[in-house]
Structure 1
Amino acid sequence: MAEALVNLLVEQLGSVVYHHTSEGVKLVLKAKKDVDKFRRTLKRIQNVLHDAEKRQVSDPAVRDWLDELKDVSYKMDDVLDAWNTEIGKREAEKQETQGSSDVDVRFSFHSNCFCLARLNEVTRRYKIGSAIKDLNEELTQIDVDKNKFSFQSTMPAALVNVEQPNPRPITSSFVDISTIYGREVEKERLVSELLRKGRHGLVIPIVGMGGLGKTTLSQLVVKDPRVQAHFDIKEWVCVSDPFDVIKIAKEILELVSRKSQNCSNVLQKLLEDIEEHIKDKKILLVLDDVWTEDQTKWESLRLPVLMKTCSEGSRILVTTRKQEIARMMRATNDMITLGKLSHLDSLDLFYNVAFLDREQDKSNKGFGDIAEKIVRKCDGLPLVLKTLGSLLLHKQTIREWEEVLNSEIWKVKVVQEEVFRPLLLSYYDLAPEIKCCLLYCATYPKDFEFRKEILIEQWMSQGHLNVGENKEEATQGREVFTKLVMRCFFQDFRQDALTNEIIGCKMHDIVHDFVQYLTQNECLTMVATGTRGTETLSANDRVRHLTLISALDDLLQSFISKFANSKILRTLATFSSSITAIESDLISQLKRLRTLNLSHNKIRQLPEKIGDLIHLRYLDLSYSSNLSRLPDGVCNLYNLQTLRLYNCQYLEELPDNMGKLINLKHLHVGYCESLWYLPKGIGSIKNLRTLDGDPSVHCSEVAEALSLGDLRMMNQLRRLEICTSSFGENAASEAEKAELNQKLNLSYLRLYLRYEPNIEANRVMIALRPHENLDCLVISGYHGPTWPNWMTTPYLTRLTVKATSLFCLLLGSYRPLK
């Protein structure tokens, strides 16, 4: 996580020196020098972070050093964020007082960040300069301390060979068939693919997360008598990482020639020699543990071309953790995805290892009951089952077995070494910002179903999606999510019935243990055990992400107060809790929050001081069944990007000054049954990407309500759900003002029409013509005499899904458009 945080800071510091207030007053010269020095020091440290991130797993001193670096980096991030917040507020305030022509709603900002807007210019600049100077001294010492670790530089990466701290074991085709369980179906399918006639399906990838048994399955199949008899040559190459083309070619040559050779280092010569030995022979080549996604490296090896000189029916079998590899090899149609073992197969495997030569214990009900629970905890991962089985093989008493069952598995050294190793290898292969996104999942409880869009919005709130990328954060977030899916870090997917897009998933318990292990100093889950305490308390003054489970109303304040440094918290999330109120005193302890998730509680009200959380980007109050209104203080959350109010059934109104939330990107108000309209001020939020829910967007001018015409400035919208009502004689004119046809970024549109049939309905639908870039369209409640032309002609050329209903409910039927 330190690597991504430092990358972000280096970029921010590159521009902050030249950033100035609306009055044109730059940072004082001394602060400019300190910022430059801080950035230079940070860039030196940046060069060794890749090595440090790896070594922290086995070296506590390195982890402590990284923790100190993260402390300073977080502090600097807070300084820059507060400074930029002040600048943004003052510039917006100046624009407002000058009377910007395209802003309809007037308001004035109330600033309360640490460098107060109303202080004189000298005092404000002194504070920012002083804070940066102090942090500079801390970072300089951290830079000095790094030298005692002899880190290897990874800059530039192409010139440095960084060795893995836990190198991947070299595999071979040897296998003990007696220890393999539950892969009969996969084995028979794979054997069938290998024995198939013809050249179709030349490359067959086996894909799955680390520890599922891809290598073991391949070994089993290679030893199958049918496969042995079918192929003239059967060779096994452990590819691993890095993908060294020369080395791989040399190994293949030595294998197919059946002797050690004084091989050339010229790739072309090696490939020619290989071709000579495999020509007109039926060959099975296994490439185990392929990682590279570099198309040029794969093509330079020319294996598919070489295999054409072999006899028909030759095959290349590939094991990998990445679906991208199958795509690169153009073999997705023949891909075999390895899943978890069934519970019965898991039991068989576990029993075979744990009760080796102990038949008397195998029939003991006490051992059996514990074994059942342990096997369920392993959740079908063969590597984990074998590791824990081997651990328990040497434990002779039920008490010892119970201790293993009740302990956190990452605290068991053998499990760290044997189970987390494949996960660590997958983790090391991720880009820094993707690592941050994966580790943030430690803030969720086990077996929790992630909602993809919620997870992406939370990644955004933590700044994980704006590291060196010149693209929309949500788009980058979906790419990160997809990569984590393809690397098998997520499972149990739930798809949207309309679009077939993945909208939810879970994380395997072992993967969850793994991310908690890596974030043990930053993420903490506290579970209430009654009315007076928690199962886990922390004296760690570095915890920045706190999750509360089963928290009661009167315990929330005491939970927070138990921390040595609660004021550095960046995430506060509650699950299965019954909180009814947030006290003003609590807000004063949470000034650094970026993410506040209070969904599924019984909150009646929020304090006005909620507006003091100047760093807050994400606020979720969904399913707050007792919440009737939001305080005006919410409108002071200048940096707020996401506001989730989904299913707040008794929420009656939103504050009139919502237009002050000029950085708001996602507003979710679905199923707020008592919220009949949105405030007109929302129309001035130009950055809005998502507006979804049930409150009416009026088709006529209503003084306090958002109308269709107020949507005209929201040209950044990606997803729009609007409910219209009160169709008068000027409704079509108002609908035209929305200018949906100008919103070229809009990809999803849902129109929910609440009104009695009349002639104006068709005119409104004509006026609501979206841009031709639309991907998905849902219309419900339309009773017009005809469909508008833009729906019946090939205007929406990119449309992949269209759903319509004549009723006020979406029935779920849809047809893909050709």
Structure 2
Amino acid sequence: MSDILGRDKVKDELVSIILGKGTEKEKCPHVISLVGMGSMGKTTLAQLAFNHHEVKDHFEDRIWVCVSEPFDQCRVAKAIVEALGVHQALLKPFRDALKNCGSQSSRILVTTRKDKVAKMMESANTIKLEELSEEDCWLVFRKIAFSDKDPKQCEQLEVFGRQISKKCKGLPLAAKTLGSLMHFKKSIEEWKNVLDSNLWELEDVERGLFAPLLLSYFDLPSPLKRCFSYCAIFPKDHDFNVNELVHMWTAHGFVESMGNMEVEIMAREYFDNLVIRSFFQKYIYRYRMHDIVHDFAQSITKNECFIISSDIESKSNYNNARHLRLVIPEKTQFPVSIDNAKNLHTLIFFNQGGYNISNLFQNFRLLRVLTLECRMELPHIVENLVHLRYLNLFECNEGIGKLINLRHLVGKNFLIPRGIGRLISLRALRCFSISEEDSEGCKLGELKNLNHLQGNIEIRGLGNMVDVSEVENAQLKKKIHLREMLLSFKKGKDRGWQDYWVPNAVDPNDRRMERDVLVLNALEPPQELEQLDVNCYQGITMSPNWLMFLIKLKTVSICWATKLMSLPPLGKFPFLESLNIWHVCSLKKVGVEYFGIESKNKKEDIIFPNLKYLSFVSLEEWEEWIGIGGKEDADCITVMPHLQCLEIRGCRKLKSLPDFLRTIPLNKLEVAGCPIIKERCQRETGEDWHTISHIPIIDLKEHDIWEDYCRLRSPAPFTK
């Protein structure tokens, strides 16, 4: 939403305060507080200000952090650091940089329901949000309820609509919820039924908001009611992972199948429907449930959904409990009262106290969803959970091969045990790790019959592969429902990102480079892929035969390919939007080879026709970026006509930028840790200034924080 009805003056005032120049007399840090009761639109208003174009241009860094109950200073500090795009491991060296966030021009914007919080924060400015006027409330309601309706129909319904909007009592969330409900109502009779509903007589602490929510809830089809109420199992301010939620819904059978359509696809449509009806709201890049909507969900599931985060014995009766979120803090006792929850279907377990979870599964044999947010080995008794459909965990054992009804196996960096090939109902397998020791884990060929896999998969430990025929046995090309694939060639134990900084051991007698090329050629991913990431590949070239058939690719990333001498030919991919080349340490020249055209056969063509984002990071030996040749070639070849952002970081030896950049409608150029390029791009005086002078945003930095981090983390070179 680019604007907010009824709050224009407040929004302008807020943006003006945020942009105000600091003075020496001004408090530092400068705190601005938005105060108002729940559902008044505080967060929406703050989000509009946060994303305002003038605010974006004014501040180099903008951070959005949610402070939830109970308040945790460490969690908030960690969220601030991560929001700045810095890995957690950088927390200590980054502390000094954070001190500068309290500079005179910095601003802190706080939203709260309580005046005392604004006072406690020593706010320099406090803005109190009041209820919307009757007319503004009508405008919010009308904008949603009457969208896509015939003007004559709107005229007939207006008299009922105005009466309904009066019942919102000036609450923006109520107007939005009712507008979303009435959007689906076409006849006068339907509108009149809502207006005359007995639910309006309800009174509640949220000043009339539950009645609109109940009306909208009762209007949902039964499957959507079950899906919405299930969300009470999550805490307030939870950032919903749509895939996780969809998989849980399908595990419980909440989603009705339709023909040959996979229920996971139908479940995603359910989620979109709930978003349209304002049960979920999109905040920045994630979905959340408003606090009051969450309270409402808990009110309709108070005997089925429970969240326990203490060892204090509750007086609640768990006999009818279906869904439980259980957090066992350190040095606390396990609440034995939940042993009565014999009918439990969901268990989300955070074990911080070292509790032996084997006892849990003696009682909870009807589980369909199990999440274990704790580092412990899965007990063998789990193989008796024959109803289990969704499993999220850190450790795995061979008993998992007996869970033949399992549809979703979620978790990262655990070793896949043998027998997983029997789970032919699997729809989600997030990570498949190949062991260095052949006796420890299953072979890649066990993927052969798992042709229903959907979404994304990470295949790690490909550097441990010895038998190329085993790669062919996996038959990845038949996994036509996969859309994203990560291929990691890390040798030894591969725990993901944190292990990429540790170089592969180099054995003079090892034929690793040749083997990686053979393994890559044999993998043959499905042609429906939209994202492909290749990490730690040790081949000199990367041009597998199957690459040219992946024409639906939108994102490609090549990282830590330390021996790669040339980039693969990607320029002809019609839908490619993002290309990331990171830590390709041996690459010295980027030429026409990655355009996908032969240097001797240049003809009229469009290269990278839809590329929007291009990133080169830490290419330590990169010296030349060659363009398309002379003027004659430039006239017949169009390069990257839709590129919006070019990022070059930590490429200290790069000598110049290619001439074709002057014809690209770039919006932003970021250069950091590239001293030669920085000098050549200086305004008016730099040798490459004529190539980039048309770019609106040019950001030139002396140092690259990632380059410094690489230097910090990288161990000494391998020696024999």
TM-score, structure 2 length as denominator? Answer: 0.48
Greater relative CO (CA pairs within 8 A, separation 6+) = 1
Structure with more helix by fraction: 1
Instruction: From the CA coordinates, give the structure whose radius of gyration is larger.
Output: 1
